[in-house]
């Protein structure tokens, strides 16, 4: 009979290779608490001759226990003859300062430090010891709290530079390996408490479910694979609907009220579309209730505003403290809250030149004096718009004539050359800087809507 040691080591090696997680000589940083899971991960990597270093966070939350964990992990690194990195955090102070729970604070601190350490020592990935039982607990937690498909796909095997090579294995498998190999590890006393919601599930919900299905980890893993496949299909469908429904304009993203309401399962579909901008399911429900009958109705996410304008909804970034940016002659890209501008000088004058300056503007470069200034428009701003025979017009009147919504007006930008307005961005250029037969150099500026 093959021992659990040999079986586990082979399964672990096969999984890394089949999932193409990393190579034998890939330099790795392993997050080690001192508990069963991370200790087993270290011994598996060491047995299979992977190149790794150990990182330990001392959160100073359990007094002497935290110091004992620190000493244990340092001893483990010495025993395995691998480099050791450690940091002490004032976790409770950080949690209070940031308005986070202690658990959230510890998570934020450790992942920030892992990434800093990885970069500092030129390592490729950070490995954590999450396993199949963690995956099951996470799925159950998300179900209890409320979730869509995105909360049912479990913990991903890889997320950027974070890799979780133990995800196919249950805690029972890790325990069997450790016991047969005679390993030592630390037990976190807080795991015995029901203070944390995850522990309540582990102590009271999990045993009941496991009594119904002894292969619960395996069943949940199969379900997670199906949920992930369903989510991938949904994302394709939502992506197609986005292209059909949303129109990118200088005002922002807009979509028709009636067209949105006619979608299959409109509340669900719209939520999946709008959550990219931070809007929640309750807001989407209220949006559909509002329909077309409450012009001026607005919803706010942490980053964006959703406004009902005539027969469409408009998504715009919230007004920030962004005020202006100076543009040098060698500038190629300019970022603003409403759009990205791409600048380039043309070697010759094209035969056809767009005049109004909606999607782009073409300027007589020799009339410009750099640096140019990109800023928000102000009351009293005027220019001589293209196509108006040199007559002046207020920027406010131009915006009104173009039927820009109030949210869009607040976001409107102007490009200035000294005291002259060269362009109301995305709307109209100035007659004074238009390209003519006498022009020798052209500056072309294109808009990329956010």
Tokens of 221: 């893993």
Annotated binding site for ATP: 33-38
| Per-state percent for the chain, helix, strand, coil, to nearest 5 | 45, 20, 35
Tokens of 144: 């209890």
What DSSP designation does 195 have?
S
Distance CA 110, CA 105 (A): 9
Note the helical H segments in 146-193: 171-181
What DSSP designation does 138 have?
H
Residue with tokens 């395996």: 218
- Please check whether residue 422 is in contact with residue 368, taking contact to mean a CB–CB distance below 8 angstroms: yes
- Counting Cα atoms < 13 Å in the Cβ hemisphere of 117 gives 26
Distance CA 58, CA 88 (A): 5
Radius of gyration (Cα) for the chain, nearest Å?
A: 29
Tokens of 91: 């976790």
In this structure, are strands 253-256 and 247-248 parallel, antiparallel, or unpaired? antiparallel
Distance CA 446, CA 450 (A): 13
- Please check whether residue 173 is in contact with residue 8, taking contact to mean a CB–CB distance below 8 angstroms: yes
In this structure, are strands 428-429 and 442-449 parallel, antiparallel, or unpaired? unpaired
Nearest to 91 by CA among 113, 107, 114, 74: 107
Annotated binding site: 33-38
Assign 159 to helix, strand or coil.
strand
Cα dihedral sign for 225, 118, 83, 86? negative
Note the helical H segments in 99-215: 102-120, 132-145, 171-181, 197-200, 206-212
Residue with tokens 């056809």: 352
Distance CA 165, CA 303 (A): 35
Distance CA 255, CA 242 (A): 9
Beta bridge mates, 306? 299, 315
């Amino acid at each position: 009979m093959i021992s659990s040691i040999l079986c586990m080591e082979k399964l672990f090696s096969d999984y890394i290779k089949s999932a193409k997680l990393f190579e034998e000589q890939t330099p790795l940083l392993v997050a080690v608490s001192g508990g069963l899971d991370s200790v087993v991960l270290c011994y598996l990597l060491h047995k299979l001759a992977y190149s790794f270093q150990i990182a330990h966070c001392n959160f100073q939350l359990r007094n002497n226990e935290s110091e004992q964990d620190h000493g244990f992990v340092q001893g483990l690194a010495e025993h395995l003859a691998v480099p050791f990195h450690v940091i002490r955090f004032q976790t409770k102070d950080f949690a209070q300062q940031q308005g986070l729970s202690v658990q959230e604070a510890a998570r934020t601190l450790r992942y920030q430090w892992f990434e800093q350490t990885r970069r500092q020592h030129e390592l490729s990935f950070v490995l954590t010891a999450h396993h199949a039982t963690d995956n099951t607990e996470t799925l159950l937690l998300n179900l209890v709290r409320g979730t869509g498909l995105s909360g049912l796909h479990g913990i991903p095997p890889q997320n950027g530079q974070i890799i979780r090579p133990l995800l196919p294995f249950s805690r029972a498998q890790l325990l069997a390996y450790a016991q047969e190999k005679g390993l030592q590890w630390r037990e976190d006393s807080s795991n015995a408490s029901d203070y944390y919601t995850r522990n309540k599930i582990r102590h009271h919900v999990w045993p009941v479910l496991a009594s119904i299905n002894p292969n619960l980890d395996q069943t949940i893993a199969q379900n997670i694979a199906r949920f992930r496949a369903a989510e991938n299909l949904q994302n394709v469908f939502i992506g197609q609907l986005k292209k059909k429904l949303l129109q990118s304009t200088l005002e922002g993203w807009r979509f028709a009220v009636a067209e949105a309401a006619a979608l299959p399962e409109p509340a669900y579909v719209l939520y999946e579309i709008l959550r990219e901008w931070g809007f929640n399911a309750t807001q989407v429900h209220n949006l559909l209730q509002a329909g077309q009958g409450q012009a001026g109705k607005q919803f706010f996410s942490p980053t964006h505003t959703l406004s009902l304008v005539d027969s469409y909804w408009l998504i715009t970034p919230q007004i920030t403290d962004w005020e202006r940016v100076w543009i040098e002659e060698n500038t190629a890209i300019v970022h603003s809250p409403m759009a990205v501008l791409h600048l380039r000088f043309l070697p010759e004058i094209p035969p056809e030149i767009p005049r109004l300056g909606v999607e782009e503007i073409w300027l007589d470069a020799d009339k410009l004096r750099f640096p140019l200034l990109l800023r928000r428009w102000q009351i009293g701003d005027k220019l001589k718009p293209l196509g108006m025979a040199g007559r002046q017009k207020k920027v406010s009147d131009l915006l009104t004539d173009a039927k820009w919504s109030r949210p869009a007006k607040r976001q409107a930008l102007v490009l200035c050359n000294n005291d002259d307005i060269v362009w109301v961005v995305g709307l109209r250029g100035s007659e004074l800087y238009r390209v003519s037969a006498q022009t020798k150099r052209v500056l072309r500026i294109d808009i990329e809507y956010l």
